[in-house]
């Protein structure tokens, strides 16, 4: 049987082992990446634990808080804001911030998320309150920049750095939305009419340019055709005259050819005046003489061959008794 002293020794050993385990457990603290641990020693801030294995003094040091050092994105609910022209708009904001000092974020502000939200709302009302509705709708980048500067300056002492502030939505009243929609529809219709007019104008310009180019090409073609036609006629006339001169025709042949050409000249509707060369007149006389010579010669021959008529007897001057 186990006596009482042995049982006491066993209990003492178990207690010592448990105490050692507790001490080791409270002496070692592992901090994750992108986090920081705020250590208090006897109720006062002692140090900030970095990521990795850290050794603490058991029962003296205590990890008060583990702070996330990653950039955080917080979307705040819509806030009613009154513009300079007394219109109430609802604005949604998104804030990007990061804790850079775990000690300040723990001891300088009780709830930095709530503080950032309230500060964002107040700053947003101050900035948008100095703008009218149109400026608020078209100056988002300016509003974002002003909000970021004010928030970053105010939260710097809390160990927080504000990197970006974005206006997610700006919703004006329903009546203003209807008016804006009508205005945008009218503006779109006006732009459509302008684009249609510009298209019609360009189409007319291109059509006129095409017609002008076509007329120029037609005129150039007609001019070239006329030049070629004139050159051909000149070459034909030169060839004809050369053939005539080489053949040395007599005036009678020329007159005959001219008489054959007269009916074709008379068929033209613009033939009003004929010019007859003097050489042609002489040739026509020759032709006429040629055609009239046989009749005159016959008559001359008849006159020569016929005997002269006998003269009538003289009348008796003695009267009848």
| 88: nearest Cα among 167, 168, 172, 169 | 172
**Which one has a higher pLDDT value, 224 or 184?**
224
Beta bridge partners of residue 166, listed in sequence order: 94
Structure confidence at residue 316 (pLDDT): 44
pLDDT at 44 over 50: yes
Structure confidence at residue 45 (pLDDT): 92
What are the structural domain ranges in the chain?
18-68, 71-172
For residue 319 the two structure tokens come to 């009267």
Q: How would residue 302 be classed by pLDDT, with cut points 50, 70 and 90?
A: very low
pLDDT digits (tens, 9 = 90+) for 148-180: 999 999 899 999 999 999 988 888 877 777 777
DSSP one-letter code for 156: G
Q: For the domain bounded by 71-172, which CATH number is listed? A: 3.30.479.30
Structure confidence at residue 67 (pLDDT): 93
Instruction: Please list the alpha-helical segments (H only) found in the chain.
Output: 4-27, 102-107, 112-128, 133-138, 140-155, 174-247, 251-267, 278-305
Angle, CA 76 vertex, CA 70 and CA 80 arms, to 5°: 155
Structure confidence at residue 77 (pLDDT): 87
DSSP one-letter code for 157: G
Question: How many Cβ atoms from other residues are within 10 Å of residue 151's Cβ?
Answer: 23
Would you call 89 helix, strand, or coil by DSSP? Answer: strand
Structure confidence at residue 260 (pLDDT): 64
pLDDT at 265 over 90: no
Structure confidence at residue 289 (pLDDT): 58
What's the rounded Cα separation, in Å, for the pair 284 and 273? 19
Q: What mean pLDDT comes out for the span 291-305?
A: 44
Which range in 188-192, 236-240, 264-268 is most confidently predicted, on average pLDDT? Answer: 188-192
**Which one has a higher pLDDT value, 259 or 54?**
54
């Amino acid at each position: 049987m186990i006596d009482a002293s042995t049982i006491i020794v066993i209990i003492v050993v178990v207690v010592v082992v448990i105490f050692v385990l507790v001490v080791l457990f409270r002496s070692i603290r592992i901090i994750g990446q992108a986090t920081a641990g705020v250590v208090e020693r006897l109720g006062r801030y002692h140090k900030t634990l970095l990521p990795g294995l850290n050794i603490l003094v058991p029962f003296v040091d205590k990890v008060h808080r583990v702070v996330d050092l990653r950039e955080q994105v917080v979307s705040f609910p819509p806030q009613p804001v009154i513009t300079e022209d007394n219109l109430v708009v609802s604005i949604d904001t998104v804030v990007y911030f990061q804790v850079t000092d775990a000690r300040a974020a723990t001891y300088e502000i009780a709830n930095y998320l709530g503080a950032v939200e309230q500060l964002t709302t107040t700053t947003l009302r101050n900035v948008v309150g100095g703008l009218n509705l149109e400026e608020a709708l078209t100056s988002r980048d300016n509003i974002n920049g002003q909000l970021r500067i004010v928030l970053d300056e105010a939260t710097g002492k809390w160990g927080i750095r504000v990197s970006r502030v974005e206006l997610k939505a700006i919703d004006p009243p329903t009546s203003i939305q209807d008016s804006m929609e009508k205005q945008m529809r009218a503006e779109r219709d006006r732009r459509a009419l302008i684009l249609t007019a510009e298209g019609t104008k360009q189409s007319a310009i291109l059509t006129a340019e095409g017609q002008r180019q076509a007329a120029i090409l037609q005129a150039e073609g007609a001019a070239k055709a006329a030049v070629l036609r004139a050159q051909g006629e000149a070459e034909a006339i030169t060839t004809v005259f050369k053939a005539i001169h080489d053949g040395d025709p007599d005036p009678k042949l020329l007159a005959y050819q001219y008489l054959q050409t007269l009916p074709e000249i008379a068929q033209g509707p613009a033939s009003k005046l004929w010019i007859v060369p003097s050489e042609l007149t002489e040739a026509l006389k020759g032709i006429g003489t040629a055609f009239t010579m046989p009749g005159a010669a016959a008559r001359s021959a008849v006159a020569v061959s016929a005997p002269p008529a006998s003269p009538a007897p003289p009348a008796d001057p003695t009267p009848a008794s």
